[in-house]
Structure 1
Amino acid sequence: MLGVSPQDQRQGRPPQRGPPPVGNSQQNSVAEQRQEPKPKPIGDRCNPLCPFFRCAQKALRITVEHYRGRPVKVAMCAMVGDRCVGPQCRFAYCEKRAMLPDGRCAFAVEAKSRAMKSFEEELQEEARLASSLGIKGKRLEEI
């Protein structure tokens, strides 16, 4: 019989249908598909639709409203019955502890500082290139 191992024949199990079991490769592919959620700040402010944003009173509800025919996610407060005010609420907190006291997201502030560092590094690189070429007081683009 096809698809039946000798051990299955001895124990009287019916033959298996479908592809043979692969083992850990299927589990690994499922684990690779699952990704850790990313913070979703609006600008540098915390957003109630962020996967890490929580309400201490368990009153945060994510609903879908339709705006101009398109579905839009909206954070609603079950205590007030209106839209969530986000970081201004006294019960709001961040699961990753990234919400700063003024309502900004630490992830967004960190990302902006990284962008500034890369610009500074770029200027230093340009200065190094200019000094190695023996050019003083001129931009590399002018040459």
Structure 2
Amino acid sequence: MVSNTPGPVKQGHDQGSHIAKSDNMQQSRELKPRPIGDKCNPLCPFFRCGQKALRFTTDHYRGRPIKVALCNWIGDRCIGASCRYAYCEKKAMLPDGRCSFAVENQPKKMKSFEEELNEENEIDLPQGYKGLPKKKI
């Protein structure tokens, strides 16, 4: 006879830990852009080829494996953002080949209000400029 009662609960195992582990795995699998500096990288998970010629292989450099993006269309390494068929799945590639995710994460250099005032005061007047014309009454 088969009983419908659950079997003995294993002690030492938390039933909720399985859910927490799966949440952590999903967060670690979340794709993130991988620009090199501020330039788009063909190894980024969002980088795509319009000709569908982008392939990934592993080369060995000094005994260590490195991932390399190859273009099957020309039979050589992918040139990245300078290729006319390259595009970003997240539409983050700027026309000059920079990644907008990298550009927006860079700290912005803001001048203080006092520095801007000093710069305005230091502006030289053009030659031959004597000042504002006086009104004649």
| Larger RCO (CA within 8 A; separation ≥ 6) | 2
Which of residues 25, 43, 65 in structure 2 aligns to 1:33?
25
Q: Distance in 1 between matches of 2:52 and 2:14?
A: 43
Q: Count the aligned residue pairs.
A: 111
1:89 maps to 2:100:
no
- More helix by percentage: 1
Which ranges of 4 or more aligned residues in structure 1 deviate by more than 4 Å? Answer: 18-21
SS in 2 for 1:97: coil
Which residue does the alignment assign to 1:9?
Answer: 2
Which residue does the alignment assign to 2:70?
Answer: 76
> Which segments of 5 or more consecutive residues in structure 1 lack a partner in the other structure?
1-7, 128-143
Which residue does the alignment assign to 1:52?
Answer: 46
Q: From the CA coordinates, give the structure whose radius of gyration is larger.
A: 2
User: What's the TM-score once normalised by structure 2's chain length?
Assistant: 0.66
Letter of the 1:34 counterpart: Q
> Which segments of 5 or more consecutive residues in structure 2 lack a partner in the other structure?
115-137
Q: Distance in 2 between matches of 1:56 and 1:31?
A: 34
Percent of residue pairs bearing the same amino acid type: 56
| 1:116–1:21 distance in 2 versus 1, CA, 3 Å | closer
User: What's the TM-score once normalised by structure 1's chain length?
Assistant: 0.63
